[in-house]
C-alpha cells in the first residue's frame, strides 16, 4: 500500500490518495484543481480510481468529487459518505456559500451509518461515526492509520459552531477514538499528521469546556461575512511538546511544502 498527499481548496484541506496495486482510493478531494492533480498522480502510477471516501460534507472536503467522477467516468468510482451528509451536498450546510465556493452536485453511491467494515480495492476499512463538528462526521481506519477529517487534529479538534455542530457530541466522539486499542497515525483534514497516543496525552479537548469549543446559540449559522475558520485554522490550539515524527506516515508518498 502506498499513501500520497495533496493540498486542496482555499482551506488547505489534506487530500489523501491510497494506492494498492493498480487501484486507488481518494479521501476528501477538496476542489476541482485537486481532482486534476489526483488524475496526474494516478496517471503517472498507471493506477485507476475506484473509490472516493468522504469524512464529512463540508465544501472543502467534497468540492472535487464531481470533477473526479467526470474524469473517471469509465471506471465509475463509488462515493462513500455518511447518510446525514447527503443533505449537505447542495445546501448551505456545506459552508461553500460563506466562502464563495460552489459545490458541483454529485450522487453518493454508498451511504454509511458507522460501524461498517468496507472492503475497497482489497483493503479492509473500518468506518467510525464521529459527529460533533458536523452530524455526518466519520473517521476511516485503515491498518495503522486513521483518517480523522475535521474531528481530531494535532493538538486541536474540529470547531463546533457551524451547522449541526455540538461540542459535547464532538468530545464524546474524540473520547471514542481515544478508547481504541493501540496506537495509530492520525491523518487529519487539516494540518500535520500526529498519533493517537500523543493526542491522548496532549489534546486540549480533554480539559476544554463548551465555551472553548465555540458553540453558539444560533446552532452554528454564520453571517455571510464571517470566516469559516480563524486565521490560524483553529482557535482550539494549545502549546504542547512536538508530536513524534514518523517518516513513514505518508508511505512512499509526497507532501507539499506548507
**CA–CA dist 211, 227 (Å, integer):** 19
Could you report the per-residue pLDDT of 167-183, keeping only the tens digit for each? 999 999 999 999 999 99
- Give residue 211's pLDDT band: very low, low, confident or very high (50, 70, 90): low
204, 234 Cβ separation under 8 angstroms: no
Compute how many other C-beta atoms are within 10 angstroms of the C-beta atom of residue 228: 18
Predicted local distance difference test score (pLDDT) of residue 113:
97
> Residues of the chain with pLDDT > 90: what percent?
78
User: In angstroms, how far apart are the furthest CA atoms of the chain?
Assistant: 50
Phi and psi angles of residue 167, each rounded to the nearest 5 degrees, phi first: -65, -45
Write out the three cell numbers for 85: 451528509
Supply the pLDDT for residue 10.
86
42-55 pLDDT, tens digit per residue, is 999 999 999 999 99
Q: Which domains does the chain have, with CATH numbers?
A: 2-206 (3.60.15.10)
Burial class (CB in 10 A: 0-12, 13-18, 19+), 21: exposed
Name residues whose C-beta falls within 8 Å of residue 228's C-beta, 6 or more positions apart in sequence: 11, 95, 98, 99, 162, 222
Q: What is the pLDDT of residues 103-137, one digit of tens each?
A: 999 999 999 999 999 999 999 999 999 999 999 99
Cell of 21: 496495486
Evaluated on CA atoms 46, 48, 49, 51, the torsion sign reads negative
DSSP string, 178-194: HTSSS--EEEESSS--E
Nearest to 56 by CA among 142, 128, 143, 3: 128
Is the predicted pLDDT of residue 226 greater than 50, yes or no? no
Amino acid at each position: 500500500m502506498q499513501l500520497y498527499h495533496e493540498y486542496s481548496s482555499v482551506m488547505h484541506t489534506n487530500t489523501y490518495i491510497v494506492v494498492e496495486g493498480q487501484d486507488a482510493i481518494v479521501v476528501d478531494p477538496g476542489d476541482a484543481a485537486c481532482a486534476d492533480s489526483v488524475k496526474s498522480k494516478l496517471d503517472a502510477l498507471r493506477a485507476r480510481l475506484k473509490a472516493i471516501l468522504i469524512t464529512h460534507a463540508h465544501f472543502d472536503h467534497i468540492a472535487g468529487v464531481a470533477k473526479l467522477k467526470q474524469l473517471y467516468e469509465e471506471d465509475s468510482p463509488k462515493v462513500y459518505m455518511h447518510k446525514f451528509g447527503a443533505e449537505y451536498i447542495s445546501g448551505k450546510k456545506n459552508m461553500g456559500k460563506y466562502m464563495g465556493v460552489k459545490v458541483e452536485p454529485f450522487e453518493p453511491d454508498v451511504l454509511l451509518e458507522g460501524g461498517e467494515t468496507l472492503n475497497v480495492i482489497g483493503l479492509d476499512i473500518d468506518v467510525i461515526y464521529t459527529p460533533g463538528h458536523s452530524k455526518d462526521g466519520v473517521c476511516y481506519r485503515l491498518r495503522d492509520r486513521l483518517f480523522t477529517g475535521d474531528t481530531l487534529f494535532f493538538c486541536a479538534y474540529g470547531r463546533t459552531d457551524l451547522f449541526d455542530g455540538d461540542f459535547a457530541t464532538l468530545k464524546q466522539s474524540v473520547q471514542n477514538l481515544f478508547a481504541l486499542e493501540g496506537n495509530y497515525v492520525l491523518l487529519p483534514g487539516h494540518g500535520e499528521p500526529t498519533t493517537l497516543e500523543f493526542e491522548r496525552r496532549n489534546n486540549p479537548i480533554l480539559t476544554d469546556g463548551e465555551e472553548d469549543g465555540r458553540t453558539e446559540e444560533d446552532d452554528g449559522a454564520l453571517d455571510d461575512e464571517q470566516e469559516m475558520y480563524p486565521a490560524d485554522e483553529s482557535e482550539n490550539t494549545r502549546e504542547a511538546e512536538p508530536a513524534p515524527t514518523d517518516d513513514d506516515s505518508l508511505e512512499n508518498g509526497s507532501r507539499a511544502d506548507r
